[in-house]
């Protein structure tokens, strides 16, 4: 008897995350029976590759989900809000990378190695958290389990690929313009991103934080099932193509030494400790590119609070931060006979 295989749809297949989803499905040998690649009418005529086969991109339509078992969405919130429920009505499991349903009380928000138990079976929506949240909770889960985190202060250094393909092009183009002594052409970001840092990701809110910062607060509380967890985030866009980095300080209920934290993290699923600063070993975005592990280093005691730890956390934002996490959710469902 052959193992079961599934009809999979990728919504937003021509985008930065969608493209990576196709690649991750192939690399991880996800049991795909048939793959359907969906995007806007603009992409009609495009052909993408899956396991050596050319697959034409189809226009996303209301009837696109007939016969599809699992749909990975990454085409923005608007598309998810409109087409997600339609896919569910067609009997599909929707794994949604947008922010549309993340804070919906009826929608599980899942990082498989952190709260895989939150996944339920049957047609419905499962939300993939924000890229910055995913890598942070993967690194903090073992510390939370061992010592009870009560406060997190995080500053992110986020790659332009998180904004999408146009932003990657904008950085490339601006670097070349600046090196030629020309003014940088701005289309995606409000300021020049080449050779600069923008402390501004998502719209500013009334409380002075940005949407991205508040996503990190609310999503972390939801994933750890702890609405009282105190989180303060500053999110910064930096001129890096791939890989988000984060400076994370935590305050725990019980004391935990840097040594113990390093030991716990070195055994944690989905984590790779790179922490030998004297040998110049610490995680950098270039190390994370193309990988699914969350890299953790610079683990040290934070002497400014009683039970404090500081660390540096890096992951590929398009892979673990988006595409790989979505595929891993589907894999977890198969493992637990939920798909």
Residue 131: active-site member: yes
Considering beta carbons, is residue 75 or 139 the nearer one to ligand A2P?
75
Minimum CB separation of residue 44 from ligand A2P in Å reads: 8
Closest-approach residue to ligand A2P (CB)? 15
Determine if 39 is a binding residue for ligand A2P (CB under 6 A). Answer: yes
Nearer to ligand A2P (CB atom), residue 170 or residue 251: 170
Structure tokens at 213: 């910062």
Q: Does 14 bind ligand A2P (CB under 6 A)?
A: yes
Which stretch, 10-18, 121-129, 179-187, 201-209, contacts ligand A2P (CB under 6 A)? 10-18
Q: Which stretch binds ligand A2P (CB under 6 A): 37-45, 86-94, 137-145, 188-196?
A: 37-45
| Residue 16 sits in the site that holds ligand A2P (CB under 6 A) | yes
* 42 interacts with ligand A2P by CB under 6 A: yes
Does 86 participate in binding ligand A2P (rule CB under 6 A)?
Answer: no
321 binds ligand A2P (CB under 6 A): no
Q: Which of 31, 76, 116, 124 binds ligand A2P (CB under 6 A)?
A: 76
Q: Can you tell me which of 70, 79, 153, 261 binds ligand A2P, judged by CB under 6 A?
A: 79
Task: Mark the segment that binds ligand A2P (CB under 6 A) among 13-21, 124-132, 138-146, 219-227.
Answer: 13-21
244 is an active site residue = yes
- Enumerate binding residues for ligand A2P (CB under 6 A): 12-16, 18, 39-40, 42-43, 60, 75-76, 79, 164-165
């Amino acid at each position: 008897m052959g193992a079961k295989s599934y009809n999979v749809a990728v919504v937003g297949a021509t985008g930065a995350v969608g493209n990576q989803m196709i690649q991750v499905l192939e690399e991880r040998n996800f049991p795909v029976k048939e793959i359907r690649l969906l995007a806007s009418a603009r992409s009609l005529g495009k052909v993408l590759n899956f396991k050596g086969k050319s697959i034409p991109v189809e226009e996303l339509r209301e009837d696109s989900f007939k016969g599809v078992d699992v749909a990975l969405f990454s085409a923005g919130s608007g598309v998810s809000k409109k087409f997600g429920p339609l896919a569910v009505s067609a009997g599909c499991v929707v794994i949604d990378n947008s922010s549309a349903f993340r804070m919906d009380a009826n929608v599980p928000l899942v990082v498989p190695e952190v709260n895989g138990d939150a996944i339920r079976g049957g047609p419905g929506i499962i939300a993939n958290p924000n890229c910055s949240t995913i890598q942070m909770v993967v690194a903090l889960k073992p510390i939370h389990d061992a010592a009870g985190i009560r406060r997190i202060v995080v500053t992110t250094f986020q790659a332009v690929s998180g904004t999408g393909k146009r932003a990657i092009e904008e950085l490339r183009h601006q670097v070349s313009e600046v090196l030629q002594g020309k003014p940088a052409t701005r289309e995606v970001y409000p300021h020049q991103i080449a050779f600069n840092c923008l402390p501004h990701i998502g719209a500013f809110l009334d409380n002075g934080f940005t949407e991205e910062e508040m996503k990190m607060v609310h999503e972390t509380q939801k994933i750890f099932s702890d609405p009282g967890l105190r989180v303060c985030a500053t999110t910064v866009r930096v001129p890096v193509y791939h890989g988000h980095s984060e400076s994370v300080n935590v305050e725990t209920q019980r004391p935990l030494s840097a040594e113990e934290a390093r030991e716990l993290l070195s055994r944690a699923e989905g984590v790779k400790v790179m922490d030998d600063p004297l040998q110049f070993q610490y995680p950098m975005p270039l190390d994370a590119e193309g990988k699914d592990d969350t890299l953790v280093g610079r683990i040290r005691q934070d002497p400014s609070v009683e039970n404090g730890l500081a660390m540096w956390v890096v992951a590929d934002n398009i892979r673990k931060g988006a595409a790989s996490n979505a595929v891993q959710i589907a894999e977890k469902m198969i493992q637990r006979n939920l798909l």
